[in-house]
């Protein structure tokens, strides 16, 4: 059960306790006013009321209404409480004031969820319930009904409920504004978190995110014995591109290469910009032999593609290392970096693979 559901159920528990207190007061007042205890059917009405209340609470606790605009079912429950109090009022006209106070006490419960329209609706519903009680009580010919007094009481009730509705509407406006601000802050926070781990130029994850993911991958390898491979990818002679075509074209080359790397690996893998013209691929669940084939295909794809609006041919050198059990995450990264150096020293545009101290060169 989430925190929201717990908060909702706590509020409903307080509301149910409040109704129970009014019910106890009603039964005590009934005995004082009429000289005997309330008839059994009134107790049955109270039982039916609480069964309905508990059904609503149970539905809320299951989470089935989580996607509703009002997951606390505020309006139906308020309507159910007011109906209960109206029925009890009808059977004991002398205790109408007690139940009318109950009307007023249940209204603040709507502050948590009701909209301004909802407050107007529950106000009109309350007035209609009271009017029906008076009508049926008058039709029954009750001697306890004084029309003038009931008219004054009805007007007072209407004014009180309208005041509550007005205040509730203000709360609704403030709650909506607060919710919108919260949503804006959440979006801004999500954007900040995204920028903190994303390279702005290429859209790939940055070095910080790479190192964090590398630690997670290492923990996964230790727990479940899942291998992984790290590959450094560096653009050959990239400085010449910037010198000849300018940094704008150079940025286009970096962005297009980043896109090629992203679409060349699986969702479980990671492509990150390490810095400058260097990229790192983290290939999960692969050994060196399988990774070698993937990286060779990437090298060939780069070699066959024209980059940027200047249609420049590029090549990449790739150094590859596999994680060894229990070694620090930085060590596999350093070994891949050393293999990249060997790839460049061996003539560039190639993949160098290390396998437990043994390096095999793929031209």
Please report, to the nearest 10 degrees, the dihedral formed by the alpha carbons of residues 308, 309, 311, 312 taken in order: -50
| Residue among 78, 158, 162 at smallest CA distance from 113 | 78
What is the separation, in whole angstroms, between the first and last Cα of the chain? Answer: 58
- Catalytic (active-site) positions: 277
DSSP class of 349: S
> SS3 for 169?
helix
Q: 161-195: b or e for each residue (b if 16 or more CB lie within 10 Å)?
A: beebbeebbebbeeeeeeeeeeeeeeeeeeeeeee
C-alpha distance from residue 191 to each of 48, 177, 186, 258, 301 (Å): 51, 21, 8, 21, 33
Token look-up 């509020």 returns 11
278-284 and 270-275 beta bridge pairing: antiparallel
Beta bridge partners of 318: 233, 351
């Amino acid at each position: 059960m989430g925190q929201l559901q717990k908060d909702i159920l706590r509020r409903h528990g307080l509301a149910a306790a409040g109704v129970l207190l009014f019910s106890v007061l009603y039964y005590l007042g009934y005995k004082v006013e009429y000289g005997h205890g309330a008839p059994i059917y009134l107790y049955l009405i109270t039982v039916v009321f609480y069964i309905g209340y508990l059904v609503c609470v149970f539905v809320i606790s299951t989470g089935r209404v989580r996607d509703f605009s009002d997951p606390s079912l505020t309006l139906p429950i308020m309507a159910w409480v007011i109906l209960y109090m109206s029925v009890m009022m009808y059977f004991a006209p002398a205790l109408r004031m007690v139940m009318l106070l109950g009307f007023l006490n249940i209204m603040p419960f709507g502050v948590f969820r009701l909209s301004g329209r909802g407050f107007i609706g529950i106000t009109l519903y309350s007035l209609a319930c009271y009017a029906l009680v008076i009508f049926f009580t008058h039709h029954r010919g009750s001697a306890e009904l004084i029309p003038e007094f009931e008219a004054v009481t009805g007007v007072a009730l209407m004014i009180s409920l309208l005041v509550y509705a007005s205040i509730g509407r203000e709360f609704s406006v403030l709650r909506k504004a607060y919710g919108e601000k919260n949503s804006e802050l959440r979006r801004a926070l999500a954007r900040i978190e995204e920028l903190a781990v994303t390279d702005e130029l290429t859209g790939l994850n940055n070095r910080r995110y790479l190192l964090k993911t590398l630690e997670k991958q290492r923990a996964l390898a230790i727990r479940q014995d899942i291998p992984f491979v790290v590959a450094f990818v560096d653009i050959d002679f990239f400085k010449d591109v910037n010198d000849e075509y300018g940094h704008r074209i150079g940025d286009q080359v970096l962005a297009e290469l980043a896109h090629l790397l992203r679409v060349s690996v699986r969702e479980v893998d990671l492509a990150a910009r390490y810095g400058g013209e260097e990229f790192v691929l983290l290939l999960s669940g692969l050994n060196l032999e399988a990774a070698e084939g993937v990286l060779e295909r990437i090298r060939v794809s780069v070699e066959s593609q024209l980059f940027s609006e200047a249609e420049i041919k590029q090549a990449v050198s790739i150094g590859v290392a596999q994680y060894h059990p229990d070694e620090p995450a930085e060590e596999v990264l350093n070994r891949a970096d050393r293999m990249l150096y060997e790839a460049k020293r061996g003539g560039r545009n190639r993949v160098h693979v290390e396998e437990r101290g043994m390096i095999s060169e793929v031209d």
